Amino acid sequence: MKEQIEQIKENSIKELSNAKDLKELNDLKVKYLGKKGELTQVLKTMGTLSTEERPIIGSLVNKVRDELNELIENKEKQLKQIELNQKLEKEKIDVTLPASKNKRGSKHPLNRVIEEIEDLFVSMGYDVVDGPELETDEYCFERLNLPKGHPARDMQDSFYITTEYLLRTQTSAVQARVMMANKEKTPIRVIVPGKTYRREDDATHSHQFNQVEGLVIDENITLAHLKGTLEVFMRKLLGENTQLRFRPSYFPFTEPSYEVDVSCFKCGGKGCNLCKQTGWIELLGAGMVHPNVLKMNGYDPEKYTGFAFGTGLDRLAMFKYGITDMRYLYRNDVRFLTQFDQMDT
Amino acid sequence: MKLSLNFVKDYIDLDENLTVEQIAEDMTNHSSEYDEAGKLINATNLTIGLVEECEMHPDSDHLHICKVNVGTEVLNIVCGAPNVRKGLKVIVALPGAKLPGGIIKKSTIRGQESNGMLCSMLELGLESKYVDEIDKTGIHELPQDAPIGEDPIKYMELDDEVIDFELTANRGDLLSVLGMAYELGAIYDKKVKSIDLSHKENNENINDSFKVKVNTENCSIFTAKKVKNVTIKESPNFIKSRLIASGIRPINNVVDISNYVMLETGQPLHFYDADKLNDVIEVRMAENGEKLTTLDGIERTLHDGNIVISDGKKAIGLAGVMGGLDTEITENTKNIIIESAIFNSVKVRKTSNELIRSEASNRFEKGLDPNRTYMAQDRACHLLEKYADAEIVGGTAKYDTTSLEDTKIEVKFEEINRVLGQNIPEKEILNIFRRLGFTYEITSNGAIVSVPKRRIDISIKEDLNEEIGRIYGVNNIDGILPALPMRKGSYDKTTREIRNKMIGLGLNETLSYILVAENEAKQFCKDENESIKLLDPMSEDRSTLRNSMIPSLLNIYKYNESRYNKDVSIFEIAKVFNKKEENYNEEQHLAVLMAGEYYQGIGNSKNVDFYIIKGIAEEILDYLGYKNRYSFIADSNKIAKEFHPGQSAVISVNNDIVGTIGKVHPELAKNVYVLEINLDKLLAKKVGKMKFKEISKFPSVNKDISLVVDKNIESQELTKQIKKYAGSKLSDIKIFDVYTGAGIAEDKKSISFNLVFSDKDKTLNDEEINEIMQKIIEGVEKSSGAEIRKG
């Protein structure tokens, strides 16, 4: 009987190790360990054995059965792993195929520049304010010390709707509104980004364009404050090494008035095509708020002073992203728009 | 304003080593910017030569071989000019000479050696308007007394340097050489020299035979002087060259003197041929329809906004703009009436804008100093006497309402520094006033400054602050930040949130024009508001303010489509405009346009349809807090005709229409979907706050139900009914299928809902669920005639 058991063990181990899949393994399990299995059959004949032999054979059968069970278990794991690997192999895909996604969104470069400027000034305590684009002559000109017939109105050929209403030629129109609204005369710190309109259209002028205006009014606001503020503004926007140059100029709503150049950010001031070899790029108009403007809008010029500045945003956006033609900004070619689809670094 | 440095140096001594570029830069920092600065004639290595021999070139029918004596040697030069001849004094560009057209080299022309070039003024870079016919076809002919071997540029007094300034509208005083001299004097601390006005006058008096009448308030001063027996001839070199440097073409000595004095003093003069005048000059407003032929030979029709000069009968000049042809100075003129006057700047500007701009009108527009009105008269007499042999008639006929006095302005030192934010010492401030040529009386804390009338731009103390600032140098002031209370500024966060959300949804932001064609302005609008037209549009395409943004986006779509950019999903937040009962309104809108593919990827690509753009609308409404507060209503009475009538809806929030959505009418565009929301209106609506709701700890139960209803019953209505009958245990409802076809009657459709039930206190059992389901089925049957779909 002992030999018989050893024979079963030897046969079963051989067959189990050759099993090719889980089904064959299961069949072998039934063949040897099932109710009618060969090893189970051996146990059933135990009755014929002597009492001395019985425990010896019994423990031998149990030992073989345990060995077989362990073997089957291991084999099962092994076969399952093989089957899983085959399945995974079958499921292999081409990861380089295009992704499923919706269209790519993008923010217009002009609004990118506006948001950057807004964030900078908001962090310095400025409010971003808006005003009507369809403005009155009173706010666009008269309250800014530009009475009817003033020659400086010629510089801003306007789109009139009636003799009183026009599309604003400058965001400065909002200056008077902000002053008039501030009855408590708390310090004014505002910027006004927005659309402006002038009656001109050529390669470098669009009849619709964008400006940002800045206005600060309080007691003891000085020209030095204007300088300091514009230095921060331009250096944050164009780089810490940017130099500023103030040139005396004339705007009816400021006194004194300046045009402000920045050192050319392309060549660093050495002279290049962008700055027309001058090393400077004219970027802002600025000055101290004219006493007439303060007076007309409810401020006592003996007590309050202020500064104002303005700059064209279209050019800033062009400089920032290297856009070569202003008309791209308004054509809205999808091939242009989709280029502005990542975060600004 | 082109400033000749030779001219201004008559009135101010500048340091020898100051270059023209340095002067231009200093002026830019302290006064006015410039366009160009450099030599009037940009040519080197020139000399005066004498053509000693001139023979035809053997191998050419037009070239000459010349022997030219240039003092140190006699050069062989081949010249093609028709006027070259023996005995001519010429300008020789020696080998190595740099001319605007290139560098002159020794060369061989058809076998003949040529050691230089004989030049015309054009070749030296002079504009053709300044040169005569000889120079246009040949070489320049110098006078016989021109010294051989000398520099011809110096000899012709063209060795000048010019700065072309871009002046601001307020600095009319800088439209004169004297004004520039004062400005440079302030910058370099130099004194301005006096102008020579000396002349003899005869025993006659102009007032005995000539009257000046002014019959308009638009002329504040009018002066007239008479000179007799002038000799009309060529001007001396210095006058001609200074006119050229200043951009004015020399004509003859008399005309040139009138321009020369205008350049010097800023005061335009007008010379009349006295023999063509009557005994009176009158200044008045023109009559409507009055005719006048101006100096340029053009007959102009005038109106009552134009100031004219009249001889008592008819207009003979357009005041401040241009004289008349009838009384102009000719080669035969003997006697002259000199007009020096000031006319209303606004009227002159309007007239010159209407008719013609001139050097004179440019100066009248900016305003003038009456002291210069007199100065210019005397200066003209001085020059006419000296260079045109004129006899000056005594006296001046005049009308004068002006004041010649200085303007007195009180300043406080502390206040100047308060505005500039700098501590400029009192002594320095007073020094700057002195440099500017202003006198002053010191007060206890400042000064009373006397500002001469030449500085018409200065009238208030802030103007003087500016003077201190710019002469001191604003670039010498240190920038600091204002010391204002710390706070966080505010901005329109919502607009930015919307923008970022739309970009996240895959839309490209555009920037469109608010001006559209008149027929586009009211498209996609279904309201009674009018559109707003420009008074004077630049083109018909941009004549009207848009009432809706959709036409703008549709134009962008068409631009892209024609460039094969088929997939267009764009949005913009901007203003639209309308007029309602005489009121102008401006509203902020959000508009979206979608066409072509939206979802992309193999097997997943999908073209835009109504439900995709509706999804965009819902995303933004949900995000802004209007979840469960909006509905889409297909109401043809409220939808504009530019929409597809069966695929469009108004968007209602809290039962108020805030926008429209739908397919563009196929006659306007193929498969294009648009959405427009009035943000001003929407954002004024109450929003649902974001607040945590307790989540049930018990599992929820899912049930599907398919209802068969009439085809025209909207799913939105059926959903509402189900919610109503299900009550509070229904926690979610979704439509997962809509079916028409086999098994469903022709006029019916089947809508399948997935319902989720839950209770925060327990797990709902079958009995409870069935009871709710029964209520729903009975309810919708009664309200909508819905039946459970069988099979």
Residue B535 pLDDT greater than 70, yes or no? yes
β-strands B568-580, B508-509 pairing:
parallel
Residue scoring higher pLDDT (A152 or B762): B762
Q: Per CATH, is B2-40+161-188 categorized as 3.40.50.700?
A: no
Query: Do A232 and B430 form a contact (C-beta atoms < 8 A)?
Result: no
Interface contact A82, partner B, CB < 8 A: no
| Domain spans of chain B, in order of start | 2-40+161-188, 46-155, 201-400, 407-470, 493-683, 701-788
The whole-number pLDDT of residue A16 equals 84
If pLDDT is split at 50, 70 and 90, which confidence band does A265 have? confident
State the average pLDDT for chain B: 92
Interface contact B459, partner A, CB < 8 A: no
Contact B488 A123 (CB under 8 A): yes
Q: Per CATH, is B407-470 categorized as 3.30.56.10?
A: yes
Mean per-residue pLDDT, B55-81? 88
Residue scoring higher pLDDT (B696 or B367): B367
Contact A121 B559 (CB under 8 A): no
* H helix runs in B473-572, sequence order: 493-504, 518-521, 550-561
Mean per-residue pLDDT, B28-55? 91
The whole-number pLDDT of residue B617 equals 97
Torsion sign (Cα): A163, A166, A172, A177: positive
Closest approach of B640 to chain A, Cα-based (Å): 25
Mean per-residue pLDDT, B765-775? 91
**Superfamily for the B701-788 domain:** Ferrodoxin-fold anticodon-binding domain (3.30.70.380)
If pLDDT is split at 50, 70 and 90, which confidence band does B154 have? very high
Q: How many CB pairs under 8 A join A and B?
A: 260
Ramachandran angles phi, psi of A297, nearest 5°: -115, 25
- Closest residue in chain A to residue B167, using alpha carbons only: A249
Contact B474 A231 (CB under 8 A): no
The whole-number pLDDT of residue B436 equals 95
- A186: which chain B residues are within 8 Å (Cβ-Cβ)? none
Contacts 24+ apart (CB under 8 A), B58-67: B59/B110, B59/B111, B60/B110, B63/B109, B63/B110, B63/B112, B65/B112, B66/B118
The neighbour count for residue B528, using CB atoms within 10 Å, is 8
Contact A122 B491 (CB under 8 A): yes
Mean per-residue pLDDT, A282-300? 94
Residue B521 pLDDT greater than 80, yes or no? yes
Interface contact A247, partner B, CB < 8 A: yes
Residue A152 pLDDT greater than 70, yes or no? no
A296-306 pLDDT tens trace: 999 999 999 99
Q: Which stretch of DSSP H or E encloses residue A329? A: helix A328-331
Closest approach of A84 to chain B, Cα-based (Å): 27
Contact B515 A208 (CB under 8 A): yes
The whole-number pLDDT of residue B791 equals 60
The separation between CA B233 and the C-alpha centre of its own chain, rounded to angstroms, equals 43
Residue B421 pLDDT greater than 70, yes or no? yes
What CATH architecture is B46-155?
A: Beta Barrel (2.40)
State the average pLDDT for chain A: 89
Radius of gyration of the CA atoms of chain A, in A: 43
CA distance B636 to B646: 8
Residue A99 pLDDT greater than 80, yes or no? yes
Residue % of chain B over a pLDDT of 70: 100
B383-418 pLDDT tens trace: 999 999 999 999 999 999 999 899 999 999 999 998
The whole-number pLDDT of residue A282 equals 92
Mean per-residue pLDDT, B334-343? 96
Structure tokens at B264: 């010097």
**CB neighbour class for B747 (10 Å; exposed up to 12, middle 13-18, buried from 19):** exposed
If pLDDT is split at 50, 70 and 90, which confidence band does B15 have? very high
Query: Comparing B46-155 with B493-683, is the CATH topology the same?
Result: no
DSSP state of A28: H
Mean per-residue pLDDT, B729-743? 91
Residue B757 pLDDT greater than 70, yes or no? yes
- Closest residue in chain A to residue B469, using alpha carbons only: A256
The whole-number pLDDT of residue A39 equals 79
Fold of A109-337: BirA Bifunctional Protein; domain 2 (3.30.930)
β-strands B201-205, B391-394 pairing:
parallel
Ramachandran angles phi, psi of B703, nearest 5°: -135, 135
Q: Which stretch of DSSP H or E encloses residue B49? A: strand B46-56
The whole-number pLDDT of residue B107 equals 86
The whole-number pLDDT of residue A45 equals 79
Nearest to A107 among B503, B563, B575 (CB): B503
The whole-number pLDDT of residue A157 equals 84
- A227: which chain B residues are within 8 Å (Cβ-Cβ)? 421, 474, 477-480
Query: Do A218 and A188 form a contact (C-beta atoms < 8 A)?
Result: yes
Residues 332-371 of B with CB under 8 A from A: 345-346, 349, 353, 365-366
Interface contact B511, partner A, CB < 8 A: yes
Comparing A51-60, B193-202, B621-630, the range with the smallest average pLDDT is A51-60
Torsion sign (Cα): B418, B420, B424, B428: negative
- Closest residue in chain A to residue B32, using alpha carbons only: A248
CA distance A318 to A204: 11
Nearest to A247 among B28, B482, B598 (CB): B28
CA distance B491 to A104: 27
Interface contact A330, partner B, CB < 8 A: yes
Which CATH number does the domain B201-400 belong to among 3.50.50.60, 3.50.40.10, 3.40.630.40, 3.30.160.250?
Answer: 3.50.40.10
If pLDDT is split at 50, 70 and 90, which confidence band does A98 have? confident
CA–CA distances in Å: residue A289 to residues A238, B34, B791: 26, 26, 81
CA distance A216 to B3: 38
Interface contact B169, partner A, CB < 8 A: yes
CA distance B165 to B8: 14
Structure tokens at B320: 């401040």
B476 backbone φψ class: left, alpha, beta (φ>0; ψ -120 to 50): alpha
B203-252 pLDDT tens trace: 999 999 999 999 999 999 999 999 999 999 999 999 999 999 999 999 99
- Closest residue in chain B to residue A218, using alpha carbons only: B484
The whole-number pLDDT of residue B108 equals 85
Q: Please choose, from the candidates A254, A317, A298, the residue with its C-alpha nearest in 3D space to the C-alpha of residue B465.
A: A254
Q: Per CATH, is B493-683 categorized as 3.30.930.10?
A: yes
Closest approach of B432 to chain A, Cα-based (Å): 16
Contact B586 A290 (CB under 8 A): no
- A160: which chain B residues are within 8 Å (Cβ-Cβ)? 534-536
The whole-number pLDDT of residue B689 equals 85
If pLDDT is split at 50, 70 and 90, which confidence band does A59 have? confident
Interface contact B542, partner A, CB < 8 A: yes
The separation between CA B63 and the C-alpha centre of its own chain, rounded to angstroms, equals 51
Contact B32 A232 (CB under 8 A): no
Instruction: Kindly provide the ipTM of the predicted complex, given to two decimals.
Output: 0.87
Q: Please choose, from the candidates A8, A115, A150, the residue with its C-alpha nearest in 3D space to the C-alpha of residue A68.
A: A8
A179-232 pLDDT tens trace: 999 999 999 999 999 999 998 887 778 899 999 999 999 999 999 999 999 999
Mean per-residue pLDDT, B716-744? 91
The whole-number pLDDT of residue A156 equals 57
Residue with token string 């054979």: A57
